[in-house]
Amino acid sequence: MWLGSPSTSLGATCVTANRESSQREETLMKIWSSPSRSALKLAALATTASLVLAACGGGSDDEASGKADADGIITVKLGVVGPKTGPASLYYEYMAQDFEAFADDFEEEYGVRFDVVSEDDQASPEETARAVSKLINEEGVHAILGPPLSGNALQVADTVQRSGVPWLLAGPNADEIINYETQPNWAFQTNFTNQQIMSILGERLWAEDAKVGIVFSGDGFGQSNLDQLKLWAEANGHELAVEETIQPGAADANAIVKRLEDAGVESVFMGITQGADTATVTRSMEQAGYAPATVMTTGTILTNYKDVAEPSQWENIQIVDPRNFLDGGDKWVLDQVQEATGDAPAIPTNNISTYAMLDIYAQAVKEVGDASDKEAVRQAMEDIQTVHIGPDLTIDAPFSADDHKLYTDDPATWFTYGFDEDFNLVNLGTAAECLESGC
C-alpha cells in the first residue's frame, strides 16, 4: 500500500546534526511524534547548521548492514551529497523533503529502510569530491544519491564509477555524466537529459527558420545545455546565432539582452540553473522592451523565479517536461510533499525524479535481499521491469546496458507548460501537439 504521509513506525524519519568540529553528535528525533516538529523543520531548512536526514528505527536492529533483520527489514546506508548550505540549497532541500514525505512508504512497500548519511558539498566541485570520497571510503555506503548539480556530478563521475557503488542521479541533466563505454555502468538518471530536451526544443526554437539565441549559466548545467543545443542545431542544418553566459547571482543582464536584440534573435532558450538568474534575464528583457516570439526554458525556473519576478515577465515563457505536474502520479508526489512537509516542493521536477529513483533502488535491494551485494543490486536496477511513481503511474523496462535514462525523447510523451498570472502551470498540450499546431 502506498501511504499519503509518513507514519510513526520504527522507520520514522530522523535527523542527525553534524557539529562544526566534524565529529557527529547524533540526535535521533522522530519527526512525526515530536511536539517541536515546526522548530525542527525550520532548522532543517535553515542553512546555518549541517543537517543529516536519516530514516531510522530503534534499538540494536537499526544497524545498516544491508541485510534483512529479524523483522525482514533491510536497512541501507545511503550516502546523500548536495548543497545543504549556500545559495543553491534548494537543490538539497528537495531530497530532504522526499525522505521526510516518503521514507516509510518504501519501507512498507519493499521492506527497505534508508539510513541516510549526508554530506554538504556547498555546490562546490572540490567539496563534492571530498564528500563522495568520504561516503565511499569512510562511511562505506551501499549507494550514493546526488550530487544534484551537473557540474559537481561530472567532477566525481570517474570516482564513483571506479568505486562500484550504485549511483542514483535524480537531479543532474548532463549527458556527459554517464560514459556508456565503461561497462558495467553504475550510474542511473531519473531526470531527463539535456540531449533529450534539446531534441524536443530544437524544432520549437527554429520554427519558421527563426534566429535563435541561448543564455546559459556559467556552470556544468549551462555548458551542457549549450553543447547539446549546438549539436542538435548542427545535426539538423541550423545555426545558433548568439551564445550568452550569465554568471550565478548576476545583478543584471542588460548587456546580454542588448546583444540578443541587436542580433535580431527571435527565439531565446534559457539554460539557467537558478530561477533567480532566469528572472534577471527576463527583467532585463522587459526593461529593454525586447519581446522575442518564443522564450523557452527548463523546469529550473520553478525553483526561486516567482519570488523575484513579475507576471508580465513570465507571461510568454514556456517549458517542456516529460512529467505531468497537473495530474496522475507525478502530481500525487508533489501533493504528498506539500502535505507531509507543510512546504511547497523545493524543485518539483527533482522531487518527482527522486521518488522514482528511490523506488527503483528499493525494488532492486528487495529483489537481491542484500544491499552489500552492489553488483547484483546494480544489475537488478538495470533489469527493472516497472518503475512506480505514486500509486498509479508506471514506466516499464526503461533501462538497458547502454541506456540508464528513465525518460525518452518522444515528443508525444512530453508536456508543454505556460504560466498564469499567479505562476501556476498551465498545460498547453503535448510537445508533439505544440510542434504541429503551435502553443
pLDDT digits (tens, 9 = 90+) for 106-123: 999 999 999 999 999 999
Over residues 378-391, the pLDDT tens digits come to 999 999 999 999 99
- Residue 70, pLDDT score: 93
Has residue 271 got a pLDDT over 60? yes
Contacts of 150 (CB under 8 A, 6+ apart): 172, 173, 174, 177, 219, 220, 221, 224
Claim to verify: residue 45 and residue 166 sit in the same structural domain? yes
CA distance linking residue 148 with residue 170, whole number of Å: 7
pLDDT at 221: 87
pLDDT at residue 34 is higher than 80:
no
Are 301 and 424 in the same domain? yes
User: Residue 373's Cα: distance from chain center in Å?
Assistant: 26
Same domain as 333, residue 306: no
Q: Which domain holds residue 121?
A: 13-192+327-396
Residue whose C-alpha cell reads 512497500 in the numeric block: 109
Which residues touch 11 (CB under 8 Å, ≥6 apart)? 55, 56, 57, 73, 103, 104, 107, 113
Whether the upstream peptide bond of residue 345 has omega within 30° of 0, thus cis, is no
Is the alpha carbon torsion for 41, 47, 50, 54 positive or negative? Answer: positive
Q: Residues 19, 129: one domain?
A: yes
CA trace torsion 161, 167, 198, 431 (10° rounding): 150
- Inform me whether the pLDDT recorded for 25 exceeds 90: no
Q: What pLDDT is attached to residue 152?
A: 95
Q: What percentage of the chain has pLDDT greater than the value 90?
A: 82
Q: What is the pLDDT of residues 36-71, one digit of tens each?
A: 333 333 334 433 333 334 443 333 335 899 999 999
Residue 362 in domain: yes
**Whole-prediction pTM:** 0.84
Integer CA distances (angstroms), 96 to 274, 331, 371, 378, in order: 19, 18, 22, 24
Share the mean pLDDT of the chain: 87
The answer on pLDDT for 256 being more than 80 is yes
Q: Give the type of residue at 35.
A: P
Distance CA 213, CA 269 (A): 6
> Do 78 and 132 sit in the same domain of this protein?
yes
pLDDT of residue 91: 93
Number of domains forming the structure of the chain: 2
